[in-house]
């Protein structure tokens, strides 16, 4: 029997971009706010089987109210995957993507993969950032991009699966 492997993904982005909702939906298949209680920072875990191996994935939510924006550089340096989230219905949250990717690259391990996601794709009439614009920004950082919807559970498994594979591939 193979040993259980532990991996961590950190979900970062502006306040109210849907980080807790993404984590809760992916790890517990619940919609945040309906049954689950959360706090400013913390994690949820999910066991995943990949190539006959059990991976205990810990998905961390960061405290990013404006007062918490400046993290210690130690926070960025662990062996993580990064999910950078913005709210498709809030242009300001999109405008901070460059800041977050810059911070990760400035302080973090360059082997750690980053994936950018635009959350709330189900709110089509309220959308303020097009897929093409978000994809172009992600391409400029040479990282993948996807629209996701927590409500419809759209693309979440795909995003986490790709990020987890990148973490395994980039392992040093």
Q: Could you report the per-residue pLDDT of 22-65, keeping only the tens digit for each? A: 999 999 888 866 444 554 457 888 988 877 778 888 898 876 65
Strands of the sheet containing 114-119, edge to edge, are: 42-50, 53-61, 5-13, 80-87, 114-119, 145-148
Distance CA(131)–CA(147), nearest Å, equals 7
Distance CA(148)–CA(27), nearest Å, equals 15
Residue 144 has pLDDT above 80, yes or no: yes
Q: What b/e readout covers 82-120, taking b as 16+ CB neighbours within 10 angstroms?
A: bbbbbbbbbeebbebbeebbebbeeebeeebbbbbbbbb
Residue 114 backbone phi and psi in degrees, to 5: -125, 140
Ordered domains of the chain (ranges, CATH): 5-169 (3.40.50.300)
Distance CA(25)–CA(34), nearest Å, equals 11
pLDDT of residue 172: 46
Average pLDDT over residues 111-122: 95
Cβ within 8 Å of residue 29, ≥6 positions away: 153
Distance CA(71)–CA(50), nearest Å, equals 32
Of the ranges 4-18, 43-57, 116-130, which one carries the lowest mean pLDDT score? 43-57
Residue 160 has pLDDT above 50, yes or no: yes
pLDDT of residue 35: 46
Structure confidence by residue, pLDDT tens digits, 75-110: 666 668 999 999 999 999 999 999 999 988 988 888
pTM more than 0.95 = no
Name which of 149, 114, 112, 122 is nearest 13 in CA terms: 114
Contact call for residues 123 and 89 (beta carbons, < 8 A): yes
């Amino acid at each position: 029997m193979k040993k259980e492997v532990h991996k961590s993904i950190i979900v970062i982005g502006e306040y109210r971009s849907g980080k807790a909702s993404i984590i809760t939906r992916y790890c517990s298949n619940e919609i945040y706010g309906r049954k689950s209680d959360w706090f400013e920072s913390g994690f949820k875990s999910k066991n995943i089987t990949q190539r006959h191996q059990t991976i205990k994935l810990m998905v961390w939510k960061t405290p990013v109210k404006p007062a918490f924006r400046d993290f210690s550089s130690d926070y960025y340096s662990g062996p993580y995957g990064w999910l950078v989230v913005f709210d498709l219905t809030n242009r300001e949250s999109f405008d901070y993507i460059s800041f977050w990717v810059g911070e990760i690259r400035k302080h973090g391990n360059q082997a750690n993969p980053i994936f950018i996601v635009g959350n709330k794709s189900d709110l089509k009439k309220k959308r303020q950032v097009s897929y093409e614009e978000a994809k172009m920004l992600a391409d400029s950082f040479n990282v993948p991009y996807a629209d996701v919807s927590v409500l419809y559970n759209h693309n979440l498994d795909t995003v986490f699966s790709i990020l987890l594979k990148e973490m395994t591939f980039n392992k040093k």
